[in-house]
A and B are shown apart, each in its own frame.
Chain A
Amino acid sequence: MSVENYHTLDEVLHSRIRLAIVSILVTVEEIEFTLLRDRVGATDGNMNTHLKKLEEHGYVSVKKEFVKRKPLTTYRLTVKGKENFKKYVEILERFIKRQGK
C-alpha cells in the first residue's frame, strides 16, 4: 500500500482496541459495557478512552440507564460506524488482493 493509500485507512478504526470494539458491535445489536470490556480484555480506563473517541466521531451511540438501581451502560454501532467499518475492511481486502497479484 502506498503512503497515499495508507492515509485512506480510517484513523479512528486504525487502532487494535477500537477495531476490536467495532468488530464486536457489528455482530450484535447492542452490548453492555462490562461484557464488551470482558470480550475486549482491556481495562475500564482504556475502554472508556477508546469508546469516548468512537462516540465523539459518531461511530457508537451510548445509552445509560438504571436497572434495579444499578447503572447500566450499553453501546451500539451507528450507521456511520457500520459504513466506515465496511469501508475499512474493503480497503484491507483490496490492498491484499492487489499485493497478491
Chain B
Amino acid sequence: MKVLIVDDERVVRRLLETSLTSWGYEVLSAPGGEEAWKILQRDDAPSLAILDWTMPGLDGLEVCRRVRALGKPMKPYLIFVTARARTQDIVVGLGSGADDYIVKPFQREELRARVQVGVRMLELQAMLAERVRQLEEALARVKQLQGLLPICSYCKKVRDDRNYWQQVETYIEGHSDAQFTHGICPECREKYVDPELARIREIQRDPP
C-alpha cells in the first residue's frame, strides 16, 4: 500500500520514511502542504497519508479540509502526526476530517499500530464499495415489475412496453424470475371443463 508522508521537518520525514518502508509500505513524501495537496488530487494518490499540521504555507489542517472537500468516492485515510498536543488541537484536527491523531514525539510501535488500523479501515471501505457495486449490477439485471400495467378488461391481456398485447403469464415471465405451471382452479373446472367433458361424453354416446 502506498503511504504519503507530509512534514516540513527533515528529521521527522526521514524517521517516518525509514519506519514505513521497513514495515513494507511504499512511501511517497512531501516537504510541505502544497506538494501534498498536488499529490492527493492525483488519480493514483496514496490511500493513506500521514500529515504534519504546522508547516509554512499550506498547513496540514488546510490540506485535510481540501482533501475532504474533494469528495472522492474512495476517501484517503488521514492521520495527523503533530506536536500539537492540546485537547482543543486534537478536537480541531479530527473535526477537519482527519481519521486519527498522533502526538509527537511518537512511539514507533504506536504509529505502526495506528497505520495498521488505517489499512484495515481502507480494506473495509474497499470491500463495502465492491459489495455495493455488485448489488447495483445485480439490480440492473433484474427487470422489475412496477408501475401502471394496462390490462384488457375482457381477455386480461396486458400491454407491454413496446405496445404489444400479451398474455399475463408471458408478460410476468419476461419481467421477473417467476415461472408458471399451468393448472385449473375449481371454479373454472366447474365453469369450463365439466360442461366440455359432458359435451364430449354426449357426443360419444350419440355420435352425429
A and B: interacting chains: no
Q: State the A residues within 8 Å of B (CB).
A: none
